[in-house]
Structure 1
């Protein structure tokens, strides 16, 4: 009887999880379910009473929503290519994107308002109006998105560099879509902009800045955490996490309004590290990013340990686990 019960338990994907995993899953689902209410609950705001005006209101809003497909479709094509080359399952892409769409956005709105109140109490109104977003948004939003990536990968039981990269990209894009939908409702629909103004605002403010935005920021921050904690490359992790913080902060300063040249320079702060990390992790499993520095290699050679540990660290995730005893199923 005991062997049959053990066999049944081994086939149950939830049977081996501990109590803290279930507590985390409960909190995750609770925050996830609040997201749609907070996201779509305010889309009927305004003082429109006539049916014709109400219809025009929602037609303009839906038109602007559809314009976001200009960056969503290429993004998912890019993610599909990345996950197929990296061996990341499709369900992780869906889960990470949905989590980024519904979890960190509404929390960030509340925390940004609280941080704004604290800054106004500690500084002047002029400072807050000019530099407040550059101080608040990077710290609050990047932290919440990164915590969402940690929750998704922790509940799923996936810890490879490719999982951190793809999970960060999808959580960031989910957050980006949530933010863009909110801006459209606030600045376009509720402000009663006409058709021409609504399209121009959406294309100029939201779509044009989507090439290097939250999805690259969160991907870099997630890879930085992977380097810092999983690969013990703390200096590289700290340097890599600075790129999204600096780019995000610069985007929220008056420099972003100084012209296309300054916008391009701000984008390059995050674009170049992202492309390097994406190429190394997607095709080589992060060998260069996680490889020891030359000084450490020389020190290993001097002590007669010619890199057995280094070779194991540089190996792809599938190669690391070769020859080990079978492990219980992980994730959802």
Structure 2
């Protein structure tokens, strides 16, 4: 590990320490009744219905692609305790800026989630993935796929925990509904979002990709941000049980993720740098 990697490691640990207190320290200070405490444990167990299969899937894929599990575990940790609170700060900053541009209170409230989360969250989750790969000295496509999924899954877990904990504290009934709601959108959510965005950014930044591959990378980034935007927008809400937009968003996001998997399987060792640049860097 060179000096630059050590600096990045200590900075990572510094931000993670802040994040652990921000996420878990805040929850530990909340006052739950004994009944609510039992409900919280139950509701978190309900969330495991989506979290455990996602984890087992990416763990198996990591082994098949010969990517060390350290990449997955480290990025899950970073996604939970670095991307989480940095995204909260980024969302708050964008919210503040938007409040000066959107004067109508109703319009602001309806669109605030769509105008903040897709931009701040996708940036910081992908940043964590690339950050850890630099620390670990990995520059291949298969590693960024695992790192992106891991960062998104860690973020998804801590976000789900926060939502359910708040609902459990405020209402005995709504937390169960919230847990089920998080599961219903859990497959085409942050883990898949970040995997696709990270691979897309990799293809755009790589010195080894062709124009067609860079266009695919651009599609991965733009389509995911647009998907996240629409998912958080008022267009998502409907009084009907059959929501065509939700089906479309799900199909496009999961379909793009499948394309990313197929592309990675075809070129798992695609490098971020050209061999000459990589050798020069090592020297």
Bigger Rg, which one:
1
Query: d(CA) in 2 for partners of 1:269 and 1:253?
Result: 17
Whether 1:151 aligns to 2:131 is yes
Corresponding residue of 1:218: 194
TM score, norm. by length of structure 2: 0.88
Query: d(CA) in 2 for partners of 1:134 and 1:40?
Result: 26
Query: d(CA) in 2 for partners of 1:169 and 1:88?
Result: 13
Corresponding residue of 1:119: 98
Corresponding residue of 1:89: 68
Query: Pairwise mapping of residues 133-212 of structure 1 onto structure 2 (< 5 A)?
Result: 133-186=113-166, 188-191=167-170, 193-194=171-172, 196-203=173-180, 205-212=181-188
Query: d(CA) in 2 for partners of 1:68 and 1:33?
Result: 25
Query: d(CA) in 2 for partners of 1:238 and 1:273?
Result: 12
Query: d(CA) in 2 for partners of 1:106 and 1:316?
Result: 32
Query: d(CA) in 2 for partners of 1:90 and 1:262?
Result: 36
Query: Pairwise mapping of residues 51-66 of structure 1 onto structure 2 (< 5 A)?
Result: 54-66=33-45
Where structure 2 has 5 or more consecutive residues not aligned to the other structure, the ranges are: none
Query: d(CA) in 2 for partners of 1:202 and 1:127?
Result: 28
Q: 1:40 Cα shift?
A: 1.3
Q: 1:88 Cα shift?
A: 0.8
Query: d(CA) in 1 for partners of 2:178 and 2:56?
Result: 26
Query: d(CA) in 2 for partners of 1:316 and 1:159?
Result: 8
Query: d(CA) in 1 for partners of 2:140 and 2:124?
Result: 21
Corresponding residue of 1:109: 88
Q: 1:44 Cα shift?
A: 4.6
Q: How many residues align?
A: 269
- Partner-residue secondary structure (3-state), 2:187: coil
TM score, norm. by length of structure 1: 0.75
Corresponding residue of 1:285: 267
Decide which structure has greater helix share: 2
Query: d(CA) in 2 for partners of 1:316 and 1:86?
Result: 13
Corresponding residue of 1:299: none
Q: 1:74 Cα shift?
A: 0.7
Where structure 1 has 5 or more consecutive residues not aligned to the other structure, the ranges are: 1-13, 287-314
1:165-199 deviation digits (Å, cap 9, x = unpaired): 1110010010011111111122x1231x12x4321
Contact 1:45 1:190 in 2 (8 A): no
Query: d(CA) in 1 for partners of 2:28 and 2:63?
Result: 40
RMSD between superposed Cα atoms in Å: 2.2
Distance 1:197 1:136, change over 3 A: closer
